[in-house]
Each structure stands twice: as C-alpha cells, then as structure tokens.
Structure 1
Amino acid sequence: MSEVGSNGSGRLEVVALQRFPVKATGAQACTRVEVDARGLVGDRGFAVYDAAGKMASGKHSRRFRRMDPVFELESWFTDDDDIVRLRLPDGTTVTAGSPEADDRLSRLFGEPVVVRAEAATPHFDAGSVSVVGTATLAELGRHEGDGRPLDPRHLRANVVVATTEPYAEDAWVGSELTVGGVRLRVLEPIERCRMVGVAQVDLPARPGMLKAVSDRHDLCAGVYAQVVEPGTIAVGDIVHLG
C-alpha cells in the first residue's frame, strides 16, 4: 500500500472536505464527515427542481437545467445533521423542503421551483465522490487569471488531497484508495463544464478556467470514485493507494 500525495512536509493527507447539501449551491466545509454507500452523508441530498422536474445546475442535460440563481445560495446541515438550511442573497434563511423555501426561491428564480430530497433520480452527475489533488489546482491556476490556485469549490470536489504532481489522481483510476476509515474505488477522470468558471457564493468568476482545463488536460480535472467500504473521513487523514 503506497501513499499518493504530499502536503510538502512529507505527510500525506486529506487537506479539505466539502459537501453540497443542496445541489449546485455553495459548499459546506467539513473537518470530519461520515461516508455511506451513497457517498458523503448528505451530499447533494436535496436539489432545486423546476416545474418540468429538471434540477437546477450549471448545464443543460436530460436531468439538469442551467439555472444560475442557484449559485447565489448557500446550504448547510444544522449541527444534528438532520435539517438543511438555505441562505438567500438577501440573508434570509429557510429550511430545505419547506413551503417557505419554495416560495422564496420561486421569487428569486422568477419561476415556480421546489426544493426536494433525492428520490428515484440521482442528484449526482456521475460518480458519488469526487477527489482532486492540490497540485492539479495549482497547475490550473497557473494558466488562468492571476495565477492563484483554483479553489476546489469551483470543481465541486468532495475530497482534496495534498499532491506534488499535477493530475497525479489520473493514475489512480482503476485502483482503490484508503482514506481514513473509508475505501474508495477510483472510476474515471471528471470531464468539466462551465461550472469551473462561474461566480458563486464567496467566489469570483474565473472566466478562462474551462479553456485552461481543456487546453491543458483534455477538459478533465479530478476523478470520480465510488464507496467500497463506508466509514469516516477527516481532514488530516492519511491517504493510501492499493
């Protein structure tokens, strides 16, 4: 079993965790999170739906519809990990799934929308857990804007691993990672869309980022994984390959 990343001090570890309780909204940073067979507990558990049953996202597809007001929302679990709250741009907070939330979001979106929990249609784009290395974020940042590393929230990444080589995570495809008490099987590189550059809560737009990802790494950054063995992941956990 080999370690797969480095934070520069020789210690190989998870440096950030985040989940998105309502799909496409701002991230909730976590220091520790439970992982079940579906993925990080609560991640994309809710989504904003339009009247036709499509989910608010940054792109158009069979399941998703581009609805940019969703990027202005924050979502987070309360301390008991039971209730999801949403904060609107005016500072109002509402409970996901409540009539008040649906009413206020409908006014913000300019059309009828509802916030619903996942049912038969998955809220994930593809893989249930997304992983990216810090060297990948730094490499992308060198080729766009002022050179700042790309914030992992732009990639909607769940697990950020300290790495020394850009795109090191591509080599993990087909392998298993042990991350804290969790085992993940890495499935495939993640093909990116306009979401990597859009402005969202506390993040300015990075308008050239999608082109940078395309030009530098064939439109892919980070990897999808599925859960092999559930457990708990925490910031600071060592990451092992194999």
Structure 2
Amino acid sequence: MHVGMISEITRHPVKSMRGQRVNETKVMNYGLYGDRSHALLDENESFLTITQFPDMVTYTAVFSGPDSLESFPEPIVTTMSGGTSNWSDEEWLEEIEERSGKKLKRISYHPEHVPVGAIEEANLLLVTDASLNALAEAWGREVDDRRFRPNLQIALTNQEAFVEQEWIGKTLQIGENVKVDVTGPCERCMIITVDPESGSRQPDLLKRVVKHHRNQFGIYLRVVETGIIKVGDDIHLIDC
C-alpha cells in the first residue's frame, strides 16, 4: 500500500548539531550515511548533547564533500555567530568548551559503522507532514521539524495525522531497494523545547506532546535492506 513519499532527508554529521538536508544518500546498516558519525565527549566520556548544552542546536554541521565509503568528508561547522570552521579546527571547539563549561574531545567513526550510543535507539527516525501540521495547529504556532531531529519527513498520500503509529510492527519499502522495520514510537524529552534557530526554550510544546500524545512523536525504523534513497521516493507499507 502506497502511504507517501519522502519530502526531506536530513543527516546529522555531528551529534546534536543542526543537520544537513540532502536530496540523495545511502542508507547504511546503522542509518543514513554519516548520521551522528562525529561527536563530542566530555571528561566522563559521555556524549555532549542538547540536553546538557541546549545552545548546541544553534551549531550546524555539513560534510565538505561527496559521500565516500573510504572515509568521511571533513565536516564544516557553522557556529551560532555564523562563522565557519573545519571539524579539525580548534576555534569552534574552544568556543563550545567555554560556553558549556566542559572540557571536550572529538570522536569520529568509520563510514561502514557508527555504533549504538552515537545513534540513539534505532537506525532512523521518521515524522510525517500531517502530524507536524496537526501539532502546529493545536499548539497555535509553527512547528520547526528540526526540533524532532528526524532523518526522514514524508508527505502522506492521505493526510491523516499520526497514522504512522499504526505502522509499528510492520515493514516499509522506501524507493526501489531500501526496506525498514517500524520498531516503535519515539519517546520525547526536553530537546523538542529548544528552538533550533535561537536556542530559546518553549516547555509548553513538550507538555502538549506529553498530555495529548503520550509523550510520543515520530517512529523509529530499523534497517533491513540498505540502498540509495532520494527526495521524492515513494514509500509503501508491505507485508513480510
């Protein structure tokens, strides 16, 4: 059954920074190519995330070149002030250390394998346009989908909000080759309260999701078959 098409693809080269929207990429066994492939660790070897440092969402990371399975292109980091630096530069890291009050170090992985931990609970996170629109209407203001940090946003064939919850336990085919199992809903936390443009907080959004949607928004996907996906690819709900 045809359920929709991909309208946006977003990977996050640096964990908890704003991501990079792409028109086409490879789905690896861990998720989108390069997703959460680079990260910052604090003195306790814990990942620095928006939870500990909300302003991290005002930094953007994009790969500097085309996808390669030999090594990742070096990420380019854009700071909240608009300055750009290479991942290997010291200036942006020193800025985050000063603002977060933490001593940090960089970590990165190989294109063939990004481990659990850098990737959170599942390989991919999907949201739908109808659910975003319904939440925005109920909240009374526009909802930036980047608050939810999805890898895939899909435009539904039938604009039924939250229908994706009915896909849990089933399989989706994306484009010609990629298959994913829908493993469960995404439980939300304070991260969705942080405005991805300004870093300001709107806690009432999380309160609404908790009260009206059992603190769930979006669905997790586990990769079954890898391949190339692109914006505009059809998505089918299939029986396996």
How many residue pairs get aligned? The number is 226
Confirm whether residue 169 of structure 1 aligns to residue 179 of structure 2.
Answer: no
| Cα distance between partner residues in 1 of 2:58 and 2:101 | 14
Find the counterpart in structure 2 of residue 47 from structure 1.
39
Q: Paired residue for 1:216, among 212, 216, 224? A: 212
* Pair 238,198 (structure 1): closer, same or farther in 2 beyond 3 Å: same
Task: Give yes or no for contact 1:26–1:201 (8 Å, CA) kept in 2.
Answer: no
CA distance in 1, matches of 2:135, 2:171: 25
CA RMSD of aligned residues (A): 2.0
- What does 1:15-164 align with in structure 2 at a 5 Å threshold? 15-59=7-51, 66-81=52-67, 82-118=73-109, 122-146=117-141, 148=142, 150-163=143-156, 164=159
Which ranges of structure 1 fall in alignment gaps of 5 or more residues?
5-11, 60-65
TM-score with structure 2 setting the length: 0.86
Distance 1:113 1:201 in 2: 24
Partners of 1:237 and 1:43 in 2: how far apart? 20
| In structure 2, C-alpha distance between the alignment counterparts of 1:58 and 1:161, rounded to whole Å | 25
Cα distance in 1 for partners of 2:174, 2:235 equals 5
Q: Distance in 1 between matches of 2:77 and 2:44?
A: 22
Question: 2-side partners of 1:92 and 1:115: how far apart?
Answer: 19
Counterpart of 2:57 in 1: which secondary structure? helix
Report if aligned partners of 1:49, 1:116 keep a CA contact under 8 Å in 2.
Answer: yes
Q: Deviations over 1:71-90 (max 9, x none)?
A: 22111111223111111123
1:235 aligns with 2:231: yes
Query: Which portions of structure 1, spanning 4 or more consecutive aligned residues, are displaced by more than 6 angstroms?
Result: none
Would the aligned equivalents of 1:47 and 1:116 in 2 still touch at CA under 8 Å?
A: yes
Contact in 2 for aligned 1:40/1:129 (Cα 8 Å): yes
CA contact (8 A) 2:172 2:235 kept: yes
- Structure 2 unaligned residues grouped into runs of 5+: 68-72
Shift of the alpha carbon at 1:100?
Answer: 4.9
TM-fit CA distance, 1:208: 1.7
Structure 2 counterpart SS, 1:209: helix
Q: Residues 96 and 116 of structure 1 are in contact (CA less than 8 Å); yes or no, is this contact kept in structure 2?
A: no
Q: TM-score, normalised by structure 1?
A: 0.86
- 1:153-199 CA-partner distances (Å, limit 9, x unpaired): 11100111112111111111111111113111110000001111202
